[in-house]
Amino acid sequence: MKCSWITKVNVVVLSLWVMMTLGNGQKFKATQEITERLKKAYAYYCQGQYEQALNSALPIYQKDPDIWVAWWPKWVYRVVKGPIPDPYQKSEIMRLTVKSYEEGRSLNLSAYRKTANARQLVADSYFALGRFQEALPIYEEIEQLFGKGPALLPGKSRMCRRYIAQGYRPPQPPPKNTWRPLPLRFREEDYFILVPLEEACKVLGLGCSIAPNTKVAGGKGIRVTKPDAPNITWRLFLGHPIVERLENGKGHTEGIAYAPFEEDGKVWVPFYWLARQAGIRGWEVRNGKIYVAPK
């Protein structure tokens, strides 16, 4: 089924992006151990667990900063019927992506594939933690290797210099002795903490609706709302790592680090995304439970 929110232009852009991910000096095909450690660091970073991301990625960066890894998230195997190419075979991935759009199936393998590099993860983790002095030289390395990126985007090295000059520190969550456990079950997949959507929304005070809808990607209309923001609705799509945010009738698309999926009649989503919408300023898994900071 075609997805109205993805155009053929998006496919071309994404395909070109995949082509550009292997630049000079980059190394792929890392060992399984390195791959798993960078997968873990990537998941930690996406979920806002920046100290853990740094701890996982820093030893790899110190040893070989040019290593990149690629992998397929487990949810991809639920979506794609048939064989999936090696995540390092870029040309085959692009060919199958274009073919699926030509056939109206809209399997954007180019976007489903994940990659990670220790240098980037370490720099981004330092930055998120407010350790701008340590992030700055690494961002300068990245700019020397790959350029400064689109002119419309602020350079991270420039942002580091500005924050250092201002003495800026990002807001810190409350002390962990004030955090409380949630009465919510969860599972871990690819190092992401996933929760059943309807149960999680009740616990977090969010609204939720799930209904069959053959007109949308994934075959179900999934909406999340927030009582104190009645003009905002988020639409999620099974098997697609995107969220559509609707505000006063206008929408734009955002990424979500792990695509929602359905299993045994329940829709599972990454907890970090729901926590963000609920205004939770910090969380972690401890003693088999999800603990959250007070709002």
Q: What secondary structure does DSSP assign to 91-122, as a single string? A: HHHHHHHHHHHHTT----HHHH-EEEEHHHHH
Residue 69, SS3? strand
pLDDT bin (cut points 50, 70, 90) of residue 106 is confident
Question: Which residues make beta-bridge pairs with 188?
Answer: 193
DSSP annotation of 87: T
pTM given for the model:
0.87
163-183 pLDDT per residue, tens: 999 999 999 889 999 999 999
pLDDT bin (cut points 50, 70, 90) of residue 107 is confident
244-256 pLDDT per residue, tens: 999 988 899 999 9
- My answer on whether 13 and 151 are in the same domain is yes
- My answer on whether 105 and 24 are in the same domain is yes
In a domain, 2, yes or no: no
CB atoms within 10 A of CB 182: 19
pLDDT for the residue numbered 154: 62
- My answer on whether 28 and 156 are in the same domain is yes
In a domain, 199, yes or no: yes
> Number of folded domains in the chain?
2
Q: Name the residue with higher pLDDT: 160 or 281.
A: 160
* Joined tokens for residue 128: 């998120």
pLDDT bin (cut points 50, 70, 90) of residue 18 is very low
Lowest mean pLDDT among 16-20, 212-216, 286-290: 16-20
pLDDT for the residue numbered 85: 93
What's the rounded mean pLDDT across residues 130-148? 90
pLDDT of 15 over the 70 cut: no
CA distance 191 to 201: 21
66-91 pLDDT per residue, tens: 899 999 999 999 988 888 999 998 88
- My answer on whether 254 and 161 are in the same domain is no
- Cβ–Cβ under 8 Å, residues 162 and 270: no
Identify the domain containing residue 276 by its residue range: 176-292
- My answer on whether 74 and 162 are in the same domain is yes
181-191 pLDDT per residue, tens: 999 999 999 99
pLDDT for the residue numbered 105: 74
pLDDT for the residue numbered 19: 43
Query: 146, 166, 186 — which closes off a domain?
Result: 166
The residue type found at 17 is W
pLDDT bin (cut points 50, 70, 90) of residue 122 is very high
pLDDT for the residue numbered 188: 98
203-242 pLDDT per residue, tens: 999 999 999 888 887 789 999 999 999 899 999 999 999 9
CA distance 57 to 36: 11
In a domain, 3, yes or no: no
Q: Which helix (H) or strand (E) holds 232?
A: strand 229-236
Rounded to the nearest 5°, which phi and psi values hold at 217?
Answer: -60, 135
What's the rounded mean pLDDT across residues 27-43? 89
CA distance 160 to 269: 33
* Beta-strand runs (E) in 3-142: 68-71, 114-117
In a domain, 214, yes or no: yes
In a domain, 116, yes or no: yes
- My answer on whether 52 and 104 are in the same domain is yes
In a domain, 86, yes or no: yes
CB atoms within 10 A of CB 54: 22
- pLDDT over 90 percentage in the chain: 66
- My answer on whether 192 and 275 are in the same domain is yes
